[in-house]
């Protein structure tokens, strides 16, 4: 069984925040794969279903971001899972918007939700880092992550969430390279070059009218 955790903050006012892209991602996975209804458990919201051959539990901790590990640990302890069975989807400042990287283990890179989970489980869980971009100034990072995605972001965000949902069975199966490859936009197919127009046939030369012959010439022709 896989525990797939989306990180975010609970409540309608946070729903479209950049910091809540993990919630958005697991919502998309649940909808795409027919998971059961969300219900309260493990200090969060959970939904059960299958991703390919894997049984999976989706979890959205409702402890607020900084205490995400409390909710995750409750689910891990109940199902007796290893850290390697846990996949966490979260926002990543250090990746450009729409970029996604998957890795197992490593540091928290300043992400309080990841830090909280690592404090409970150790570092060896899988992270799906979803880029939201850096505002360029450390002083406005908090406003950046806790503000909603811009309307224009839907152009890349909606297709990305759909691609994450499509690839979730590969992610659950440990096929991270296949999962990551499926997130790349399909290369545009080159348009076939227009067929060269067949050369137009040169107009047939008009037959030249035979000049009228004189009576004497016609008489000579009769005796040739």
pLDDT of residue 69: 98
Q: What is the C-alpha to C-alpha distance for residues 168 and 171, in angstroms, rounded to an integer?
A: 5
Mean pLDDT computed over every residue of the chain: 88
* Mean per-residue pLDDT, 13-25: 98
Spatial strand order in the sheet of 44-51: 39-41, 44-51, 54-61, 2-6, 86-92, 126-131, 100-104
Residue 30, token pair as written in the block = 């649940």
Geometric angle at alpha carbon 132, from 159 and 118, rounded to 5°: 110
The yes-or-no answer on residue 90 being catalytic is no
At 208 the pLDDT is: 45
The number of beta carbons lying within 10 Å of the beta carbon of residue 39 is: 9
* Helices vs strands, H then E, count in the chain: 7, 7
Question: Which CATH architecture best describes the domain 2-129+172-180?
Answer: 3-Layer(aba) Sandwich (3.40)
Of the chain, the percentage scoring pLDDT greater than 90 comes to 81
Give the model confidence (pLDDT) of 140-191 as tens digits: 999 999 999 999 999 999 999 999 999 999 999 999 999 999 997 543 334 4
Q: Give the domain ranges of the chain.
A: 2-129+172-180
Catalytic residue of the set 19, 33, 90, 111: 19
pTM of the model: 0.81
Query: Tens digits of per-residue pLDDT, 48-88?
Result: 999 999 999 999 999 999 999 999 999 999 999 999 999 99
What's the pLDDT score for residue 221? 57
């Amino acid at each position: 069984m896989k525990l797939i955790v989306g990180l975010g903050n609970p409540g309608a006012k946070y729903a479209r925040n950049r910091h809540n892209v993990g919630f958005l991602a697991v919502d998309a996975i649940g909808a795409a794969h027919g998971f059961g209804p969300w219900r309260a458990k493990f200090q969060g919201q959970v939904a059960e279903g299958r991703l390919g051959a894997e049984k999976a539990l989706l979890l959205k901790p409702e402890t607020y971001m900084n205490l995400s590990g409390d909710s995750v640990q409750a689910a891990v302890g109940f199902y007796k899972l290893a850290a390697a069975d846990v996949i966490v989807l979260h926002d990543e400042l250090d990746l450009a918007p729409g970029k996604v990287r998957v890795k197992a283990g490593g540091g928290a890179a300043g992400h309080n939700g990841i830090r909280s989970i690592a404090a409970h489980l150790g570092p060896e869980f899988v992270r799906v880092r979803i880029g939201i971009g850096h505002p360029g100034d450390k002083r406005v990072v908090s406003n950046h992550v806790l503000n909603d995605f811009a309307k224009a972001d839907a152009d890349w965000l909606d297709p990305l969430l759909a691609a994450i949902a499509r690839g979730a069975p590969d992610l659950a199966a440990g096929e991270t390279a296949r999962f990551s490859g499926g997130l790349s936009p399909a290369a545009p197919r080159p348009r076939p070059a227009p067929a060269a127009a067949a050369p137009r046939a040169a107009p047939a030369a008009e037959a030249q009218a035979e000049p009228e012959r004189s009576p004497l010439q016609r008489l000579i022709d009769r005796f040739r």
